[in-house]
Amino acid sequence: MNNFITILKKELLDIFRDKKTLILTIFLPIIIYPAMFSFMSSSINNLQDEAGKEINIYIEGDSSSSVADAILSIPAVNLVKTDTPQELLKKGDIQLIIQIPDKFDDNIMAGKNDKITILIDEESNKSMIAESMINEILEGYKNNLVAQRLADSGLDTSILSPFTLEVKSGINEGEDANSFSSMMMSMLPTLIIILMISSTIGMAADLGAGEKERFTFEPLLSTSANRSSIITGKIVALCVVAFISLVANVFVMAFSMGKFMNFGGEVDININLYSILGMLLIGVLVLIFLATLQISISIYARSTKEANSYLAAVTMPSMLLAFIPYMADAKSINPAFFNIPITNSICLMKEFIVGIYDFKHILMVVCWHLFYILISIAFARFMFSREEVIFRT
């Protein structure tokens, strides 16, 4: 036990004196997240503003029709005259090509059903925003036309709106439904796990293969400390630093989302205490499992460079597993997902976020993780006991 504490303390001291690790795992996210989210938010808002200021369109067909007049009545809309509209659309010089059939007004008056086609550049956000604005104008135009026809037939136009529609949150009383906040919160578990996986790689490589590279491994093995103390000290040190990094990352991420992201409404990151504790518990279990696995792999490598390659190879499938439930609805998760490593931790975190505390799911995921931890510890002990691993040249 004493040796375990000695190794843990030394590893923590060593890691916290490594400025490179501290900057990359703790300080950089603190600077990056606010910058990233405010940049994302301002970029989207700027794009919307820019699109609202100037929309260049080309009208093919009846450009003197009343519908064309309605479109051109928007101050931001500019009509561009060109022989090569599709080329301009591809280049981004115009945002839309609107095809209006000839004699559109006459056909409408005659009660014929005509078709207006809008050609968009689906690769351009500006084109998509312009389409949404023009679509709104056309909807208004269509409603006016219908209202006029009803009036001409002596019917009350109020039959067009037999009811009004209001969308509100049914689970958070008195609040408007904030789908963006919900989407961000649903993405949070995946982000947490990915951050955990990626933040530990460099440290794991240093804690295992780094000892071989620095030639400190043999002096360490020649002390009275048994190998279990050495490996446990290293795993716990990795978990502690990764946990601090995780908490710092998640806190700054949530704070930055709320503070710097604004898409017409506030992003409300609101998770209750039980959910936070549940997520921390699952996070810690995943951390122990991953850290143990990473240290075992790292100890097999001859150098930190080699360890980084092996760890990247192991990290890739973990990342893919983390993305499986990325967009899954927390309230209807496929039960099979609770049996897949990594995926199951994210699914349970998703449930916690929306306030679901399903005992069966919790028990399943905790048991699976205890099993993963036991397996990874057995693997680590096996690796540490193998002479061909320890003295691999």
Q: Residues interacting with another protein, by CB under 8 A?
A: 2-3, 6-7, 10, 13-14, 17-18, 214-226, 387-388, 390-391
CB closer to another protein out of 27 and 391: 391
| Shortest Å, Cβ 293 to another protein | 24
CB closer to another protein out of 102 and 218: 218
| Shortest Å, Cβ 309 to another protein | 22
The helix/strand/coil state of 140 is: helix
CB closer to another protein out of 20 and 115: 20
CB closer to another protein out of 219 and 335: 219
Are 82 and 59 spatial neighbours (Cβ–Cβ below 8 Å)? Answer: no
CB closer to another protein out of 17 and 115: 17
| Shortest Å, Cβ 4 to another protein | 11
Token code pair at residue 16:
């916290």
The helix/strand/coil state of 78 is: strand
The helix/strand/coil state of 99 is: strand
CB closer to another protein out of 169 and 223: 223
In 3D, which of 254, 287, 293, 265 has the Cα closest to residue 381?
293
| Shortest Å, Cβ 376 to another protein | 24
Bridge partner residues of 55 (DSSP): 77
| Shortest Å, Cβ 203 to another protein | 13
| Shortest Å, Cβ 5 to another protein | 9
CB closer to another protein out of 215 and 359: 215
CB closer to another protein out of 224 and 332: 224
Distance (Å) of CA 2 to CA 31, 78, 225, 228, 229 = 38, 77, 9, 12, 9
CB closer to another protein out of 2 and 158: 2
In 91-181, at which residue ranges do the beta strands (DSSP E only) sit?
96-100, 117-120
Residue 124 gets the label, from left (phi > 0), alpha (psi -120 to 50) or beta, of beta
CB closer to another protein out of 21 and 127: 21
| Shortest Å, Cβ 226 to another protein | 7
| Shortest Å, Cβ 210 to another protein | 10
**Helix 28-53 to helix 227-260 angle, to the nearest 10 degrees?**
30
Token code pair at residue 324:
């499986």
| Shortest Å, Cβ 250 to another protein | 28
First vs last Cα of the chain: how many Å apart? Answer: 31
Are 62 and 102 spatial neighbours (Cβ–Cβ below 8 Å)? Answer: yes
User: Could you tell me the sign of the dihedral formed by the alpha carbons of 293, 298, 304, 310, in that order?
Assistant: negative
Could you write out the three-class secondary structure of 35-75? HHHHHHHHHHHHHHHHHHHCEEEEEEECCCCHHHHHHHCCC
The helix/strand/coil state of 117 is: strand
Residue 386 gets the label, from left (phi > 0), alpha (psi -120 to 50) or beta, of beta
In 3D, which of 113, 101, 90 has the Cα closest to residue 60?
101
| Shortest Å, Cβ 35 to another protein | 29
